[in-house]
Chains A and B, each alone.
Chain A
């Protein structure tokens, strides 16, 4: 046997015990999870009993601190309800004031309307506004048609190279300053591309486009001016009849209602917690009852459940008894699994120590050590793992099988070398 086989045998041994330990760990985790599950189911049953007892107001059966929490809770709920009713009353008051104000505004607007209708300027301004809007609407369709025509026809003027050239050099404009042969050639080219007529047409199309934009702007301006005139008259009339002042009194009422509604929403949210039993007082009472029930012996629990009127908690108590039986069995199994786990852990530790000690002692060094074929390493390792051999005893049993070799020296301290010396 060479040192490599020796080493892998020890490693296999370590892995074997690590596998056993892993199995024990998995089993322990499963047991722990099952135990936790049983405890949770018992806690859930206790919680349901607590809920039943709280629901049935079995205050006599409850501890004083729980009863106190429930009384505080009832007081808080009452205060919140009273506050909410007050806020709603406040909102109703504001709404009534707004309704009264609306009637005033309506009357004032009526007066404003009558005032304006009788006002000659207002009639004229209204007429002008209507005419301006009508003119814009009437022009819009025609303008769109003309824009489409211009947009369709202008690109052709950019597609003919001779014409484009002349436009680029400013031919036909006051800025044109070419002379001599160039001027003569330009004039000749102008004849070829029908420049004068096309230039006049293009300028006309561009002027039409500009004028259309001006007209649209004038239409908008006319409407805006008419609107402003109407607004000025309406403001003046409103000031005259007091409608504006009345309307200003509406804003603070609206703000007060918004504020009150915000407060009401907050109170509603808190009350919703009470209705859904999410409020801190209920949660605390529930925790207290659950803890109290948990601390009771099963007999005390049965007695307490019997004192309450419903049968549901009696059923829950029976369920808890069954679960507690299961839990006791589970804990016994858990203790056994834990013992096995600890033993497996110790085995792994022992196997690792063996491997490390053999490594440190040079027993795994393939360059220096070989073993005789008569070595039964597995048997030795098995005895060590069973505790029949200590590390030192194992090393002593190993020694006779060791063949030490020195590769680079003429003298080899091996079985063969010792025979030579002998």
Chain B
């Protein structure tokens, strides 16, 4: 009985941890200004540590461009033949019932 209880607890905790992890990832994506500031600071520190002078505007532009492209759809690059076969498949036999 005690073993079964522990198993349940561990199973539930695994799910909870998974959910917590997902929540953390989502929160991280949503805290965009903070993330931008952190990344910018790390970049400034890196360049300063290596004695490289970089314009602040360049850092800002680079960070903005990077975050602008996050989570964007990235299409694959199939060849014409593969693409044609795949499209023919999904239009004819590929669709379920």
User: Hey, which bits of chain A sit against chain B, CB under 8 A?
Assistant: 142, 145-146, 153, 156-157, 159-163, 165, 169, 178, 182, 185-186, 188-189, 191-194, 197-198, 201-202, 204-205, 207-208, 211-212, 215
Chain A residues lying within 8 Å of B76, measured Cβ to Cβ, are: 162, 191-194
- Count residues on chain B whose CB falls below 8 Å from chain A CBs: 25
Contact check, A204 vs B32: say whether CB atoms are below 8 A apart. no
Contact check, A161 vs B90: say whether CB atoms are below 8 A apart. yes
A189 in contact with B90 given A153-B71, A204-B25, A204-B71 (CB within 8 Å): yes
B89 at the interface (CB under 8 A from A): yes
Q: A165-B94, A189-B89 are in contact. List 9 more A-B contacts (CB 8 A).
A: A153-B71, A165-B90, A191-B76, A202-B73, A207-B22, A208-B30, A211-B26, A212-B30, A215-B30
A160 in contact with B73 given A189-B86, A192-B83, A207-B22 (CB within 8 Å): yes
Q: Which residue of B lies closest to A194 (CB)?
A: B76
CB < 8 Å neighbour of A153 from B32, B72, B75: B72
Chain B residues lying within 8 Å of A142, measured Cβ to Cβ, are: 32-33
Q: Which residue of A lies closest to B73 (CB)?
A: A156
Shortest B53–chain A CB gap in Å is 31
Shortest A137–chain B CB gap in Å is 15
CB < 8 Å neighbour of A157 from B29, B30, B73, B83: B73
* Contact bitstring B63-97, A, C-beta under 8 A = 1, else 0: 00000000111111010001100110110001110
Shortest A158–chain B CB gap in Å is 9
Chain A residues lying within 8 Å of B27, measured Cβ to Cβ, are: 211
CB < 8 Å neighbour of A208 from B26, B73, B87: B26
* Contact bitstring B43-58, A, C-beta under 8 A = 1, else 0: 0000000000000000
Chain B residues lying within 8 Å of A198, measured Cβ to Cβ, are: 73-74
Chain B residues lying within 8 Å of A145, measured Cβ to Cβ, are: 32
CA distance A208 to B25 in the complex (A): 10
Shortest B20–chain A CB gap in Å is 13
A204 in contact with B86 given A156-B72, A156-B73, A178-B96 (CB within 8 Å): no
Counting from the closest, the 4 A-B pairs by CB-CB distance are A156-B73, A192-B78, A194-B76, A165-B90
